[in-house]
Amino acid sequence: MNFIRNLIHKADRSSMYVILLSCTGIGVFLYMNKWSYLHLITADWVMVYTMLGAALILDYFTFQIPPKGNQQSMDSSVYLACIFMFGGAFSLSVLLPVSIILLIKERKLTWWKHIVNFSIYSLMITGAAAVFEWTGGQSGTLDGYNLIPYFAALAAYFIINTITLGLFFHFSTKDALQQMKRAFVTESLLVYLCTLILALVLTILVVHNGVLGLLLYLSLSILLSHAFRQLFVMYQTIEEKANTDQRTGLFNHSYFESMLESELTNARTQGTPLCLGLIDIDDFKKYNDRFGHLQGDSLLALLGDFLMQKTEGTPVTAFRYGGEEFTLLMPGMELDESYRFMNKLRKQLNDTPFEGVEVFPHGCLSFSAGVAPYQVDMYNKSQLVDQADKALYYAKKQGKNNVHRHGSNDGMEHEIDLVQDVRDIEQQLNLFRYKDMDTFKHSKRVYKYALDISELLALDNAEKRRFVLGALIHDIGKLEIPWSILNKKDKLTAEEWETIKGHVTWGKKMVITNDRFADLIPYIELHHERYDGKGYPYGLKGNEIPRLCRMLTVIDSFDAMTTERPYQETKNVEEAIRELRSCSGSQFDPELAELFIQYIEKRTAQQQLQ
């Protein structure tokens, strides 16, 4: 028993699914087939061999369909036709020798994949046969006046195939279920429908024409299989062109966005590291102006070929981001490893000869790069891109031809002029003086709380900047709310409350136009999310909300409770603390709420002593 427990503990979801699927499929086969081979007469064996040959011929003409790694052949139509003509047990009798022959013939394929394939077919055949009988279908005769059982069996076969294979690919490739649904149901639906409807054609031909009908069917199916092969090759070619930047040969920006979303999902669900590198060719404009755009395009092509060669055989994928910017997705790599990899690329590019490099300040080809790691509290892919872009900015500020790690303490990020940023934001907040003085004062108080809390949390300079500036600007979207609603003394109507809630979206739109403050968007957009997932605008829950945004929610709520506002009662400090504790674990992060409460209690005690 201990051995079994250890095996289960070590097995991942993919292995557990394979074991469960295989046991279920084999068990269903043994139960449904009931050793029907012992009861077959000579004529039955002739038909078994005939259908066996047909299935093997069709299996030989296998073709690819989405998603990647999924193969399809027309042999399913043979098994379905056997159900319609001879019953489910007979169809299973054909399946077993086909599977044994394929196991011997395709020895390069892992043995357990043969078992999984056999199990899935067993489940599909059994399910289709059960539905066929349940809806009134009778084997042996083709009832042209009652087609419901036939189409019901086709639907059952397709649904079981989609679910079992979809889950297998989901667990083995870790792709999102939505992607698998699109690949199986949308992109491959036509192939499945053609295959399944052909089962009816085979049934009609065999019932009315015998062996000649089977030969006609095989000819038709082989031609269709060849056509589907050609179609898939064309599909791959078109997909490759759509995802490839023609000038550099690398993947393009749109494919980068898709891959980044996929890799972030993997990192989030599996807990694996992920880093993003952003590269910018140093002084590319100067080279373009000197030698012209054609030579500039040649330089872009050179860098594309360089990145493709250097990332081949590694988990790193290179993309052209736009203009002279490139990105590297580095799944499974920690920040330091990613930094070393990119720095090695930089040095190798420095040593790469190219016409006209003398115009560059460093006398060689070079790039500046920023690299940023995925963090568990990132809720949006744009955050990772923004951090890599910020790191790239610091790399350029240091004289170019270097790589900068986001959040590194090498002196450059200590030079952040927080005072200037605060001054610039306050210029925008001054508009509240004429529209809503309460919001202006509230923003200033929350900012001061954030300064103190950033010290308690021991934030580094970059985190402190984002946190305190985010606290200062978090309600900027209220500038779009009508004066009459902001200053209404009576209780807000439901419609007016929805307008108030819209300030997080309006604030995001106002700030997103300024690249300098783009990294503050989470604080503007998420400070009304709740720890229990009942907040707005997205209903994020727990650690899905960035940690410092959860902290801002506590600060913002405390100040709102202890300050006179037109749409709520004012609480004293003791009442506000009780409210924080009461809502701890539901509205607020319990750990951060308690940290803030201790800060307030200490601060209040010091004020009373003065």
pLDDT, tens only, 495-517 = 988 998 999 999 898 888 777 78
- The answer to whether the beta carbons of residues 299 and 287 sit under 8 Å apart is yes
Q: Is 80 exceeded by the pLDDT of residue 541? A: yes
Q: How many angstroms separate the Cα of 394 from the Cα of each of 82, 341, 398, 413?
A: 69, 19, 6, 7
370 vs 110, more confident = 370
Q: Is 70 exceeded by the pLDDT of residue 53? A: yes
So what's the pLDDT on residue 70? 56
So what's the pLDDT on residue 262? 86
Q: How many angstroms separate the Cα of 288 from the Cα of each of 299, 352, 366, 367, 590?
A: 9, 18, 15, 15, 56
- Which of 56-70, 296-310, 379-393 has the least mean pLDDT? 56-70
Cα separation, 169 vs 66, whole angstroms: 11
Q: How many angstroms separate the Cα of 300 from the Cα of each of 292, 293, 354?
A: 13, 10, 11
Q: How many angstroms separate the Cα of 474 from the Cα of each of 487, 497, 521?
A: 19, 18, 8
So what's the pLDDT on residue 415? 46
- Which of 353-357, 434-438, 563-567 has the least mean pLDDT? 563-567
Q: Is 60 exceeded by the pLDDT of residue 66? A: no
Q: Is 80 exceeded by the pLDDT of residue 239? A: no
Q: Which residues pair with 373 in a beta bridge?
A: 275
Question: Per-residue pLDDT tens for 148-161?
Answer: 898 899 889 888 98
As given in the structure block, the two tokens for residue 38 are 């012992």
As given in the structure block, the two tokens for residue 541 are 């829950």
So what's the pLDDT on residue 183? 52
Strand order of the β-sheet with 274-281 is: 317-322, 325-331, 274-281, 367-373, 403-405
Q: Is 70 exceeded by the pLDDT of residue 555? A: yes
Work out the pLDDT band at 204, boundaries 50, 70, 90: confident
Four-point Cα dihedral 10, 12, 18, 23, nearest 10 = 40
Highest-pLDDT range among 150-159, 185-194, 214-223, 366-375: 366-375
- The answer to whether the beta carbons of residues 585 and 550 sit under 8 Å apart is no
So what's the pLDDT on residue 185? 54
So what's the pLDDT on residue 530? 94
Query: Whole-model pTM?
Result: 0.57
Rounded to an integer, the average pLDDT of 243-259 is 90
Rounded to an integer, the average pLDDT of 590-594 is 94
Work out the pLDDT band at 7, boundaries 50, 70, 90: very low
So what's the pLDDT on residue 3? 37
Domains of the chain (ranges, CATH numbers): 2-243 (1.10.1760.20), 253-409 (3.30.70.270), 416-609 (1.10.3210.10)
Q: Is 90 exceeded by the pLDDT of residue 123? A: yes
As given in the structure block, the two tokens for residue 547 are 């940690």
Rounded to an integer, the average pLDDT of 177-183 is 52
Work out the pLDDT band at 2, boundaries 50, 70, 90: very low
| Mean pLDDT estimate for the chain | 83
Four-point Cα dihedral 534, 536, 542, 548, nearest 10 = -150
- Which of 68-82, 156-170, 233-247, 529-543 has the least mean pLDDT? 68-82
Q: Give the 3-state secondary structure of residue 314.
A: coil
Percent of the chain with pLDDT over 90: 30
Work out the pLDDT band at 38, boundaries 50, 70, 90: low
Cα separation, 370 vs 393, whole angstroms: 7
Question: Per-residue pLDDT tens for 280-317?
Answer: 999 998 898 888 888 989 999 999 999 999 999 999 99
Please state the three-class secondary structure of 69-111 as a single string: CEEECCHHHHHHHHHHHHCHHHHHHHHHHHHHHHHHHCCCCCH
Q: How many angstroms separate the Cα of 225 from the Cα of each of 77, 187, 228, 362?
A: 12, 17, 5, 58
So what's the pLDDT on residue 31? 86
Work out the pLDDT band at 54, boundaries 50, 70, 90: confident
64 vs 8, more confident = 64
Q: Is 70 exceeded by the pLDDT of residue 111? A: yes
So what's the pLDDT on residue 72? 66
Q: Is 90 exceeded by the pLDDT of residue 409? A: no
- The answer to whether the beta carbons of residues 54 and 78 sit under 8 Å apart is yes
Place of tokens 């727990």: 542
Q: For 568, list phi and psi in degrees, rounded to 5.
A: -165, 160
- Which of 42-46, 248-252, 417-421, 531-535 has the least mean pLDDT? 417-421
So what's the pLDDT on residue 64? 65
Four-point Cα dihedral 214, 216, 218, 221, nearest 10 = -130
